[in-house]
Amino acid sequence: MKSNRKLKNILFQVSAIAILAAAVIHNFDTIIAKYMLIAGAAGFAATTFTTPYPGKSLRGKRLFNIQIFSVLLICVSAYLMFVDMRAWVITLLISALLTLYCAIALPIAYKKEQKGEKE
């Protein structure tokens, strides 16, 4: 079980780096960037969808749903990049901000839930 969690964590990190690298590489080689973003989005989605929120609080579930929406926006960004539309930058930026917010707020919500505090 612990090795499975470690493997998911490595896939999550590699996928996030691939998404970031695809955004940077797009300035130099659009073909490589398209496929890197698709691969990164697939790995990011796989790890997010297979790791649900462990708690029961409404706030934590809402934050996890925002994270799911963020993953869907990454997939939309990959599609928009693949069809050569410049709007992929906007959807990827929105997704990055939502992911950052969830990465900060989800552990806080889970810790509060574990302590038994009211929201």
pLDDT value at position 117?
Answer: 61
Collapsing DSSP to helix, strand or coil, 119 comes out as: coil
Residue 21 to residue 37: CA distance in whole angstroms? 8
pLDDT category at 2 given cuts 50, 70, 90 is confident
Q: What is the pLDDT of residues 17-64, one digit of tens each?
A: 999 999 999 999 999 999 999 999 999 999 999 988 888 889 999 999
Q: What is the pLDDT of residues 74-118, one digit of tens each?
A: 999 999 999 999 999 999 999 999 999 999 999 999 999 888 765
pLDDT value at position 55?
Answer: 83
pLDDT category at 3 given cuts 50, 70, 90 is confident
**119 pLDDT more than 80:** no
CB 11 within 8 A of CB 66: no
pLDDT value at position 4?
Answer: 85
The position carrying tokens 């297979």 is: 50
Sign of CA dihedral 88, 73, 4, 101: positive
Q: Structure pTM? A: 0.89
CB 98 within 8 A of CB 69: yes
Residue of 102, 42, 105 whose CA lies nearest to 66: 102
